[in-house]
Amino acid sequence: MATINSAYLGELRTHAKHLASGNTVITDAPLDNNGRGEGFSPTDLVCAALGSCMTTLMGILANRLNLNLEGMELETTKIMAAEPRRIAEVILHFKMPANNFTDKEKAMLENAARTCPVALSLHPDVKQTVTFQY
């Protein structure tokens, strides 16, 4: 059974619907690639998925260890390569909440982030630069 139903709307815009929830996403080609840049580009969504996956895995671990991650923030920067046009690097900077995590808890949280399914699914040529600010 399909997970997502997508349609091309014309003018380099797509519409995707998550079938289980009904949530939708619109993508636009970026301004530097003939688009309007009025929404997430497909490569923006890849980077957002990486950050969301890392955050989710950290949340699962935090729940298991009874740690509070509320207030954690993530800044994501996408760097594109020109030839061939692709994502060259994703820079993810986690701003952790002001909790007194032990060194062991920090290591476990950081490992959970770096080993999320999206991180492990990306091509090895896509550099993933991940930092944590405690």
Q: What is the pLDDT of residue 58?
A: 98
Query: Is 50:122 a contact under the CB 8 Å cutoff?
Result: yes
Shared-domain flag, residues 50 and 99: yes
- Buried b / exposed e over 58-70, threshold 16 CB at 10 Å, is bbebbeeeebebe
Shared-domain flag, residues 77 and 101: yes
The first and second tokens of residue 100, run together, are 């007194």
- Domain that includes residue 27, residue range: 4-33
Shared-domain flag, residues 25 and 47: no
Q: What is the pLDDT of residue 123?
A: 97
Shared-domain flag, residues 22 and 47: no
Specify the number of domains making up the chain. 2
Shared-domain flag, residues 104 and 49: yes
- Three-state SS at 69: coil
Q: What is the pLDDT of residue 78?
A: 98
- Which residues are CB-contacts of 113 (< 8 A; sequence separation ≥ 6)? 54, 55, 57, 58, 92, 94, 119, 130
Query: Whole-angstrom Cα distance, residue 67 to residue 114?
Result: 18
Shared-domain flag, residues 79 and 127: yes
Domain CATH for 60: 3.30.300.20
Count CB-CB contacts under 10 A for residue 102: 9
- Three-state SS at 118: helix
Q: What is the pLDDT of residue 52?
A: 98
Shared-domain flag, residues 74 and 99: yes
Shared-domain flag, residues 54 and 103: yes
Shared-domain flag, residues 27 and 87: no
Shared-domain flag, residues 70 and 89: yes
Q: What is the pLDDT of residue 30?
A: 92
pLDDT by position in tens, the chain (length 134): 999 999 999 999 999 999 999 999 999 999 989 999 999 999 999 999 999 999 999 999 999 999 999 999 999 999 999 999 999 999 999 999 989 999 999 999 999 999 999 999 999 999 999 999 99
